[in-house]
Every structure is written in structure tokens, then in C-alpha cells.
Amino acid sequence: MPDSMTLLLVEDNDQQRQKFAAILEFVAQGAVNVTDSSRALDFLDDRTEAVLLGNCGSTERLVELFSEIKKKSESTPVVLFLAEDSDRSLDKNMVQSAFAMLNLPLRYSELSDLLQRAEVFNLGRKRGGGGGVNLDLFRSLVGNSRGVIEVRKLIEQVANSEATVLILGESGTGKEVVARNLHYHSVRRDKPFVPINCGAIPGELLESELFGHEKGAFTGAISARRGRFEMAEGGTLFLDEIGDMPMSMQVKLLRVLQERTFERVGGNKELKADVRVIAATHQNLEELIKDGSFREDLYYRLNVFPIDMPPLRERMDDVPLLVNELIARMENEKRGSVRFTPAAMIALCQYRWPGNVRELSNLLERMVIMYPYGIVDVADLPEKFRPIGTVSEDAPSIHFEQHLMPSADFQTSRLPREGIDLKEHISSMECSLIKQALDDAGGVVAHAAKRLKMRRTTLVEKLRKYGLQRTETMTEI
């Protein structure tokens, strides 16, 4: 989160207020104004980027304060903190108008993601866009690692300028995601974003693809055709894999970047190029310059503002957040879902990910197909993702969400020095035992209930509670 982000926390319970304030100051890394419901409006001003409403004494007072905040600052995001035992019969208008609602206790990943979305919403609000920035794109840069935070900061700094950006990083790290964020957070966001992969188009056709051609310019040119520069007029042209561009085309691209004009193939009319150019490559362009396969003058013309996208192996703490985000997208797209045990998640965090986020996304799709709405343990992962030997002491310390990753590890042992969440641990044990009973019973719920010495209806309720959806092989009798 940027240092300038200012939050307003409203909470009438003194103990909760101190607790929430400490959490928010840690996550937001910015100013947090803290007050109770009686003085909330006094603290609300133009610098407030989000209001977080907790306990206001009563549901009636919460609804009243929410309305007052919206009257004073309609576009300020308002987030509701809802306790598990709170009255869920909240005012429908308030629920629809709220920026988000978070259930207590607060979870770091959920709160961090929320503040990121609020940050982007405010970027759009400050530019007069009414908060209409594409939030899904920004969320695709999910993560709290130093590298991702730095990338988000660089995007915020350069998005509204006309500077040419060069995005560097290995294949699959999300370079096009960065490019799309730059476009959608800029003043050009209402104009086209046009990508082209310079390595996927033969060199003899690339000129026509970029600049277009006139009728009869070459064999097969039966009509005039616009190129990518014309398609991107007023918007952004994304040149992916720029390192694969032939030398002959590099000269012509350099001229366009310098003169901001070009001609169609076979034409003599000079056209203006009102586009912002963003380039990306997984190659080391300086090494290509030494080899004589990339022009040094073009490199310096492109490398005005470089952004390095870190490989996934350097941001292992982000793996659980990425998994949650990618699974949430699949659920929203009705493509299925899956859950991972903590042991399986640790295995994913120890894998080196040579294919980066793209490889992770492909694995999740595979697991969704193989174990629809199931729970994936280490043994269920493809062999190359399983750790060899014991878990390394250097493995990142990760907080796993209970509802996403019920544990299969229920061995009795000494209490860890840092303590445990007993309620979560017991729930994880229960979920794992239910899964084992169902496996042993061949998916027959009644037989599994007998093995667990509980009523069938009780087991059905627990299946719903833990999101263990019945598969085709799971039956009642």
C-alpha cells in the first residue's frame, strides 16, 4: 500500500478499536484515523481514501452513519466489518452501496486485497473516472511480496505519463498483465489496447501487421488493411517479445518512435501515430546488442521506464494468494473449484515454478478437472510438484485460510511454541476424518456416517459446512 493512503476506522468498542487500528497500520502502511461513531463525520475529509465501519452500537446507528457518510462524500469507499454473530438482516441499500464487507476475524490476505482494490478505485476517482478502473486487472497483480509491491508502485507512478515502458521478466510472469494495468490506469484507458507478439509473426509479415498495407502492395493484398498502429490510435500498443523482432523491422520501428509517423506498406501517405508504446521481453536485450541482433539505439528508445516482473520463485509468499485468486476466478466463471491442504500448499511453495504464474494457473485447471470440488493433498499433486524429503526449514511462513485449505495433518503432538488456533485445528481434523471416511465408504454417506458414529443427517450438514460437495460417486445409501 502507498504511504499516502489514509483510512478512517470507526469502532465503538475500545478493545476492538485498538486491535483493528494495529492491524490496519501494519497492512496499509499509511495513516489510520481512529474514532467512534459519534465523531466519525468530523474525521471524514477529502484525504480519506476508505472508511471502515465496525461496531456502531446498533444496526440502526450503523445504517444511519453509513447514510451520513455517503451524503458527505458519496464516492468514498465504505467497508463494513461484520461479526459472525451480527444481525445479517442489514439494510439492502446499504449492502448494495458498500464497497465491500469483511467477516471477522480479519484475515490478512482479504484485508490486503481489499485495500489494493480501494487504492485503484481512488486512482480512478481522482482522475475523474468515478472509480471506473478495471479492478480485475489490478487484482491479477495479487501479492504482498516486495517485488510485486514495487511493480504496483511503478505502475502508479508511470501510468499517466506518455513515457515508453519496457517490461522485463521471464515467460509466464505476467508481463502483459502489467501492460494492461498501465493502459487501464492511464488517461488512454477509454481507447484501444492492442497487443502484438513480435515473435509469433514471420518477419516478412510483421511490417504489414504493424503499419498496414494498401491494396496491391504485395501478392494477396486484395484490399487495403489497417495495421496495429492505426488500430491503437489514441490508445496503447503492446509489443510483446520485442527481442524477437527482425533487425529490418527494428529500424522502421525506431523511426516511428522518433518521428511519430509511419506509412502503410505500398503507400506514400504519411500517417500520425498517436499511441503509447509498451514493449516486453523475456530476453536480455543488452546481450542481444552485444551479439548484434538488437539495435542499441532502439533499446535506449524503449528503455525509458523499465519495470522488472519478478519470477514466481522469488515471491513464494504470494503463492497462496495467487492460488486463492485464480481459484476464485474459476469459480466466478463457473469452471469449477478445488481446495488444497496445508501440506499440499507448502509443496507448491517449495516448487521452483520454471513456468511461473502461467504454470501455476495450468496446474490449478488440471486439479479442478481431476478433483472437482475436492480437496487436494500432496499425494494428489503431479509427481514433480511433490517435495523430496522433509519440509525445508527455509520454507516461507504462510497463513492458510481455513475455508480454502482444511488440513489432513491431525497427529497429536506438542503445542507449537507460537501456539495454534484451536478452533481451526479441530475443524481441520474433522474435515480430514470426514474425507477419509467417505473414501473408505466408497462415497456412500450413510456408511461413512456409521464409521464416524454419527447420524447421516449430521454428516450431510457437515459436508455443507466444509464445502465438501457430493460427487457423482457419493450417494445417500
Do 123 and 181 touch, CB atoms closer than 8 A?
Answer: no
Residue in 388, 395, 393, 427 with CA at minimum distance from that of residue 410: 427
CA–CA dist 25, 262 (Å, integer): 51
166: Cα within 13 Å, side-chain hemisphere? 18
Beta bridge partners of 340: 376
CATH 1.10.8.60 residue ranges for the chain: 313-465
At 390 the pLDDT is 40
Do 55 and 9 touch, CB atoms closer than 8 A?
Answer: no
Do 276 and 237 touch, CB atoms closer than 8 A?
Answer: yes
At 183 the pLDDT is 92
At 369 the pLDDT is 92
Please, which pLDDT band fits residue 354 given cuts at 50, 70 and 90? Answer: very high
pLDDT (average), residues 172-186: 91
CA–CA dist 281, 117 (Å, integer): 28
CA–CA dist 25, 99 (Å, integer): 20
CA–CA dist 477, 446 (Å, integer): 5
At 133 the pLDDT is 43
CATH 3.40.50.300 residue ranges for the chain: 139-310
Mean per-residue pLDDT over the chain, rounded? 80
Please, which pLDDT band fits residue 256 given cuts at 50, 70 and 90? Answer: very high
The tens digit of pLDDT for each residue in 116-142 reads 667 656 655 554 444 444 444 555 578
Portion of the chain with pLDDT greater than 90, in percent: 31
CA–CA dist 280, 202 (Å, integer): 18
Fold adopted by 313-465: Helicase, Ruva Protein; domain 3 (1.10.8)
At 135 the pLDDT is 47
Q: Can you tell me whether residue 168 is helix, strand or coil? A: strand
* In 294-352, beta strands by DSSP E: 305-308, 339-340
Instruction: Note the CATH number of domain 6-133.
Output: 3.40.50.2300
At 89 the pLDDT is 57
The tens digit of pLDDT for each residue in 427-477 reads 777 777 887 777 777 778 888 888 888 888 888 878 877 766 544 344 554
Name the residue with higher pLDDT: 393 or 218: 218
Fold adopted by 139-310: Rossmann fold (3.40.50)
At 463 the pLDDT is 80
The tens digit of pLDDT for each residue in 35-85 reads 888 888 988 888 888 899 988 888 888 888 988 998 888 888 888 887 755
CA–CA dist 466, 434 (Å, integer): 10
What's this model's pTM, rounded to 2 decimal places? 0.57
At 471 the pLDDT is 46
pLDDT (average), residues 267-275: 90
Residue in 203, 28, 14 with CA at minimum distance from that of residue 119: 28
pLDDT (average), residues 209-217: 86
Please, which pLDDT band fits residue 404 given cuts at 50, 70 and 90? Answer: very low
Portion of the chain with pLDDT greater than 70, in percent: 81
Grid cell in block for residue 30 = 499509511
Grid cell in block for residue 314 = 522469488
Statement: residue 190 has pLDDT above 60 = yes
Do 452 and 459 touch, CB atoms closer than 8 A?
Answer: yes
Please, which pLDDT band fits residue 278 given cuts at 50, 70 and 90? Answer: very high
> Cell 504482498 maps to which residue?
144
Residue 227 CB neighbour total at 10 angstroms: 22
Please, which pLDDT band fits residue 393 given cuts at 50, 70 and 90? Answer: very low
Statement: residue 317 has pLDDT above 70 = yes
At 421 the pLDDT is 65
Residue in 209, 192, 127, 203 with CA at minimum distance from that of residue 161: 127
Q: Concatenated DSSP letters for 6-63?
A: EEEEE-S-HHHHHHHHHHHHHHH-SEEEEE-TTSHHHH--TT--EEEE---SSHHHHH
Please, which pLDDT band fits residue 343 given cuts at 50, 70 and 90? Answer: confident
CA–CA dist 216, 26 (Å, integer): 64
CA–CA dist 204, 465 (Å, integer): 60
3-state secondary structure 83-129: CCCCCCCCCHHHHHHCCEEEECCCCHHHHHHHHHHHHHHHHHHHCCC
CATH 3.40.50.2300 residue ranges for the chain: 6-133
Statement: residue 249 has pLDDT above 60 = yes
Do 246 and 293 touch, CB atoms closer than 8 A?
Answer: no
At 302 the pLDDT is 96
Name the residue with higher pLDDT: 280 or 134: 280
At 300 the pLDDT is 95
